[in-house]
Amino acid sequence: MDGIYASVLLKDVVRRNRIADVSALESVIRFMFDNIGNLCNAKRIADALTSGGRKVSVNTVEGYLSALCGSYILYKSGRYDVKGKQYLKIGAKYYIADIGLRNYLLGPQKADMGRALENVVYLELLRRGYDVGIGKAGNLEVDFIASNENGIEYYQTALTVRDENTLLRELKPLDGISDHNPKFLLTLDEDLVVLYNGIRRINALDWLLAG
């Protein structure tokens, strides 16, 4: 994994984009790997790194993010207003091409299975040919809005919803969407498919295998 990381980082990103400060780039990579599935923008990243002792400008962060996405190390997913039916200019989430790289850089103590599951579902939706955005439904966030020539589907992900409060929290964003497009809640709970007001709760592994 060390060889893969060094090869991709040094040969692809650094050389192709003529990046001089490799250490600053690695700081951005570590931050992004630690924040997969979180809303991010260049200013927030620059501020966080600066407060941690690594001064990086907003323009530099924007350039690094563009380079990482251009090299398919990161994928950027914009926010989509479900009611307004348009993409928003502010805020985006980033996902990584290889969870193994995240574990290598951050260590096993950072192995957040919830974020990993969300990342895997995002990549699978891309593989299936969907355009994937982050949904904004009023004040609530929908993990993914997946669209193709056949229409739109909505997805929430959670490791488990055995706790009733967790179940209600995960269903709420989907339940607030008034259209009749398919809605899915993907979890690792090993249960049969369950319907909640038209929302299908499915085991994520079964969903992955069905694709």
- Give the position of tokens 């499915």: 202
Topology at the third CATH level for domain 112-211: Trna Endonuclease; Chain: A, domain 1 (3.40.1350)
pLDDT tens for the chain, 211 residues long, are 667 777 777 778 888 888 888 889 999 999 999 999 999 999 999 999 998 888 899 999 999 999 999 989 999 999 877 776 667 777 799 999 988 888 888 877 656 889 999 999 999 999 999 999 998 888 889 999 999 999 999 999 999 999 999 999 999 999 988 888 999 999 999 988 899 999 999 999 999 999 7
Q: pTM for the full model?
A: 0.90
Which long-range contacts link 51-58 to residues 24+ away (Cβ below 8 Å)?
A: 54/24, 54/27, 56/24, 56/27, 56/28
Coil, helix or strand at residue 121 = helix
Q: Taken in order 121, 189, 79, 111, is the CA torsion positive or negative?
A: negative
